[in-house]
Amino acid sequence: MEFIRQIERLQQLTKLVREQRTGSPEEFGERLGVSRRQLYAYLEYLKDHGIDIIYSRKINSFIFSNDKELEIVFKFQILGEENSRDIFGGKNLKNIFPCYFYARSDSKLAS
C-alpha cells in the first residue's frame, strides 16, 4: 500500500502547488507528512521529469515555474479473465489479483 500512499502524496503536492497555498518548506513538508529533506527529494524527482517547482518568498508558496503541471491519474480496475490473459501474455497466473496502476504527466500550457 506504500505505492498508493506515494500517489496520494504526489496528488496532494500538485494540488497545493497549483493553488499556491503550500506555505514554507517546513509547513509544506508537514502537510505532506514528510520531512523537509524528503520534500526536496520529491521536488528534485519531479524536476528530473521536466516539472520545475520553485519556492516564492513573495507569496510564501511553491509554484510551477515552467508552465508545466503534473496530472496524476490513479485508476483501480478489476479485470476479467480475457483482459488478464492479455496483460500476462496468455499465461494463467494463479493467486494474482488482476489490476494495474498507472501515473501520467502532461504538460499544460499557460492560458
pTM above threshold 0.85: no
Q: Over the stretch 16-38, which tens digit does the pLDDT of each residue have?
A: 999 999 999 999 999 999 999 99
pLDDT band for 4, please (50, 70, 90 cuts).
confident
Residue owning grid cell 494463467: 92
- Written as nine digits, the cell of 42 is 520529491
Residue with cell 493467486: 95
Domains of the chain, by residue range, sit at 2-64
- The confidence score (pLDDT) of residue 37 equals 94
Task: Express each pLDDT in 45-68 by its tens digit.
Answer: 889 988 899 999 999 999 998 877
Please say whether the dihedral angle defined by the alpha carbons of residues 34, 31, 66 and 107, taken in this order, is positive or negative: positive
Kindly report the CATH class assigned to 2-64. Answer: mainly alpha
Identify whether the C-beta of residue 104 lies closer than 8 Å to the C-beta of residue 93.
Answer: no
Among 45-49, 62-66, 69-73, 101-105, whose mean pLDDT is lowest? 101-105
Provide the CA 9 distance to its chain's centre, in angstroms: 7
